[in-house]
Structure 1
């Protein structure tokens, strides 16, 4: 049998008392020696001898009387302020570090009934971290005071939660509910996506560091950020708001003001003070979608706000503060943008502590069916009208949706819009084969138009973002004509047919060549695509 060793404080109030009447009171430290089924071999009692020498002496004498086999050792422990957490923890930590534990031959019990609440918390923390390699021991008084009833009860608290089946099951159940919430209640079947959600749930509950969500447009970054905020709000980890902004909409002088606010008179038209989005997210969560679109000045200010929780409003000379957690979203390769000098490497390093890639719908084909059901439920909730598929229509739609003919370039946005269209047009609340055939044709046309637009991005790369919509649409059509023609001259004749008769020169090929050169393009480059 191993020796039972109890470590604890002498209680300045609960353990105090002298004269014969003390035996009619419940004294927790002395009561440890009265339990026949819990024989203590040694007690390590911490006490300030300068203040409580009489109490510690009486306890030693009384324990020697009721439990002579118990070796009582007194540790003179001086703590200037027993209610100061840092002082108490340092004292107990030093005791634990200097104590010669022998777990092979002794079992240790940390008595948390006596001592200040601060001392009890510190004993708990040191036991949980295994600096005190034992179990917690809680003594409680008897229901009735008296000589025969002064023993009380003992409870041993094992901090290994895996031994508490009901607690473990409850904890696991709550985790599953939280992860389901992050997935909007959708029973996703993709193993990699489910593992990612598990990690995000764990990180969200343990860390306040920035989180970077990467993935294509429509993959669900914004929805996941909001769900994570709701999860943290339910756990009371945040008390502020959820603030969302698409950085692609922040342009020019207004970007700094929108993010960091401005003071009255900061610029022409600044008639009043503006708090800005960062201050609006104080104590809450800020979601910056498309963060790769931020300008260099905004990136520098954001980095300081993340590191110091402070920033300077536009036109101000007094710093503002905001304590927020950041979630950033991007469909860009930020590492590539850093290499191109378009994104700060120090900000990228700060964001990249926790980064997760959200796969597009085409990478999660097995999740199309549960998401289809989710979108139908959402339509019923939003429109107060329940719509269902007939069997044939559902099979045809799913066969198309999970085939290589469906790129789902808009990801879940495309799927949600598709379901909404079919549900709205469904006769008598039933999506039939005709509805599905019409929707499949609509999706094919949509994706064909998008693929033509992708050709422009392949040719120009990131430079396509610098084009006005007018120029982009015109250039896209010119390239489409070029790709259908066998030569530069043929493409020129098609593009300038109407104006040829009105021009002195009919060199359509040269005219087309000069147009393409404005965008650093050539016929040879387009023809190779």
Structure 2
């Protein structure tokens, strides 16, 4: 058995007492040495020097009831035992210098005595394993009787030992992740990993978050769900305020965001609070943040860093403590390089950046999203619609194929499912309806792709007429297909994920960008020649 070593503060009130009458009183520190079922080998008794006499009396009393217990008096110079910083620093420094021997000794941190601040500090040091032991909580007997030590309870803060608690924490995180995904059982490994990290960041951080991705990828929806998750954890008491920066133009942009004073400009008939102040203690979602003008970007940077800013026409600052979530479908790195976006603002909002994949990059998630959209339609319209087996297979076959561009991402899918559910007689989506819907989508996407646009590939111009003529038809067709995907993708990694979606799940090391780069290099091509303007 390892020897028991107790570490505790002297209780200046609970451990006090003089004369023979003190033995009729329950004293927490003395009681630790009075339990017949356990023997304390050593007690490290922490105290402030002005209580030296009481510490020596407790030391002598423990020697009377438990001669085998060694009591070491440990003076701590604390000016204010209620000052958290001072108490924590003093206790931390002592613990770091203490020669713990966990092979031979077990350590109990006594949290019944000392100020509440001291008890909290003891808890934190045991939880962080600076004190490598458990907590011990003592309590008095129901009836005060001389020699009755009361009870003691050990609390181990190693949560890995508590399976039920660990399961509850895991379940809470799964619930939060499912909430961010609206309960949709998504199957794309990259997207699921991204949402799991976003869940942790959403509940642990108030730093700005940047959501990148194509239009319709769900940036606005995810931002609102993050806010609702924070709200459920009592981390946001203010509102969710959303604005698309592409709608802000001219003098009205600064006024909308930062507010204005009456008379600041023509038409300013009264004071206006502005969206930043409206979002106080809540979340401000600035979609398409890359559309903001440079002046508004400078004002926003100050508001993020200092939580203070000047409304238009004001000579006095106002305050607003909000969390910023920004959205963009542009590559802000390019905008910074070209001077369209402030580098300092980008650095400030780029702490947590998440690139949401488009629907075409998540073909395995199309089916669960269809089921989710059908359930929403049924709830809103009080009318259930379902595919028959053949129609479902036909629709999924097309939806997952390279022919399905999903250029509007989830907006396209939502509109498509809504049309099918609305037209379904008797609630049955038939093959005929699916065939008509596929024709509609083909027409829509063909109409949206201008001649000479990203889908057009001129191999002669890229490779040179001589090199093109040397290609077999098989290689030419394959290369044209790859280049069409590259022209429609925003980044090299984006194109790689689309091209190698099926095989990437079977590889232990995934580097789609490098794989695509090597393929292009076979033909003397580089991504810079293919990336969209």
Local SS of the residue matching 2:448 = helix
Q: Does the aligned pair in 1 maintain the 2:449–2:455 contact within 8 Å? A: no
- Displacement of 1:456: 8.5
Counterpart CA distance in 2 for 1:275 and 1:458 is 49
1:145 corresponds to: 144
**252, 268, 286: which is aligned to 2:284?**
286
1:315 pairs with one of 304, 313, 316? 313
**Shift of residue 457, structure 1, vs aligned partner:** 11
**Corresponding residue for residue 55 of structure 2:** 56
Identify the residue that residue 45 of structure 2 maps to in structure 1. 45
Instruction: Provide the residue aligned with 1:11 in structure 2.
Output: 11
Shift of 1:115: 0.8
Alignment partner, residue 234 of structure 1:
232
Quick check: 1:49–1:56 contact (8 Å CA) kept in 2? no
Q: 1:82: how far off?
A: 2.0
Q: Could you say which residue in structure 2 is the equivalent of 1:29?
A: 29
Instruction: Tell me how far 1:453 sits from its aligned partner.
Output: 8.0
Instruction: Give the corresponding residue for 1:122.
Output: 121
User: Partner residue of 2:346?
Assistant: 348
Q: Which residue of 1 aligns with 2:271?
A: 273
Relative distance call for 1:396 and 1:73 in structure 2 (3 A) is same
User: 1: CA distance between counterparts of 2:274 and 2:25?
Assistant: 63
Secondary structure of 1:272's aligned partner: coil
Q: Deviations 1:47-103 (Å, cap 9, x if unpaired)?
A: 2242x3443233112211111111101122342222222222222223223333333
* Whole-angstrom distance in 1 between the partners of 2:49 and 2:403: 83
**Deviation of the 1:6 alpha carbon:** 1.0
Task: Specify the alignment match of 2:467 in structure 1.
Answer: none
Does the 8 Å CA contact 1:210/1:328 hold for their aligned counterparts?
Answer: yes
Cα distance in 1 for partners of 2:436, 2:250 equals 43
- Report the counterpart of residue 20 of structure 2 in structure 1: 20
Structure 1 CA distance for aligned equivalents of residues 398 and 89 of structure 2: 66
Supply the distance in 1 between the matched residues of 2:379 and 2:176 (Cα, whole angstroms): 22
Q: What secondary structure is seen at the aligned counterpart in 2 of 1:34?
A: coil
* 1:257 equivalent in structure 2: 255
CA change 1:13–1:453 in 2 (3 A) is: farther
Within 5 Å, give how 1:254-403 maps onto structure 2. 254-403=252-401
CA distance in 2, matches of 1:71, 1:344: 66
What per-residue deviation string (whole Å, max 9, x for no partner) do you get for residues 141-164 of structure 1? 22332235x222222222211110
Aligned to 1:245, the other structure's residue is in SS state: strand
Give the 5 Å matches for 1:63-142: 63-142=62-141
- Is the contact between residue 137 and residue 157 of structure 1 (CA under 8 Å) also seen in structure 2? yes
> What is aligned with 1:464?
none
What is the Cα deviation at residue 130 of structure 1?
A: 2.6
SS of the residue corresponding to residue 144 of structure 1 reads coil
Query: Which whole-Å deviations, capped at 9, do the CAs of 1:173-206 have from their partners, x for residues lacking one?
Result: 0100000001011010111111111111111122
- Counterpart in the other structure of 1:219: 217
Displacement of 1:3: 2.6
* Contact 2:177 2:196 (8 Å CA) reproduced: yes
Out of 161-170 and 52-61, give the one that drifted further. 52-61
Secondary structure of residue in 1 paired with 2:449: helix
Q: Secondary structure at the match of 1:174?
A: helix
Q: Which has the larger radius of gyration?
A: 1
- What is the CA–CA distance in structure 2 between the aligned matches of 1:303 and 1:132, rounded to whole Å? 42
2-structure distance, mates of 1:454, 1:48: 82
Q: Secondary structure at the match of 1:89?
A: helix
CA distance in 1, matches of 2:344, 2:273: 26
Task: Tell me which of 415, 423, 426 is aligned to 1:425.
Answer: 423
- Structure 2 contact 111–122 (Cα < 8 Å) conserved: yes
Q: What is the rounded CA distance, in whole Å, between the counterparts of 1:54 and 1:121 in structure 2?
A: 26
Counterpart CA distance in 2 for 1:204 and 1:176 is: 14
In the alignment, the residues of structure 1 paired with residue 115 and residue 12 of structure 2 have an alpha-carbon distance, to the nearest angstrom, of 9
CA distance in 2, matches of 1:140, 1:435: 74
Shifted more, 40-49 versus 326-335: the winner is: 40-49
Q: Does the residue aligned with 1:226 lie in a helix, a strand or coil?
A: helix
Distance 2:455 2:268 in 1: 38
SS at match of 1:38: coil
User: Displacement of 1:280 after TM fit?
Assistant: 0.8
- Partners of 1:313 and 1:457 lie apart in 2 by 46
Aligned to 1:471: none
SS of residue in 2 equivalent to 1:109: strand
Q: Deviations over 1:455-495 (max 9, x none)?
A: 28999xxxxxxxxxxxxxxxxxxxxxxxxxxxxxxxxxxxx
SS in 1 for 2:206: coil
In the alignment, the residues of structure 1 paired with residue 66 and residue 374 of structure 2 have an alpha-carbon distance, to the nearest angstrom, of 72
In the aligned structure 2, how far is the partner of 1:384 from the partner of 1:280?
36
- The two structures have a TM-score, normalised by structure 1, of 0.83
Length-normalised TM-score, structure 2: 0.83
Shift of residue 351, structure 1, vs aligned partner: 1.2
In 1, distance between residues paired with 2:180 and 2:374?
A: 19
The answer (yes or no) to whether the contact 2:238–2:283 under 8 Å persists in 1 is: yes
Question: Alignment partner of 1:44: what SS?
Answer: strand
Count of equivalent residues:
458
Q: Give the aligned CA root-mean-square deviation in angstroms.
A: 1.9
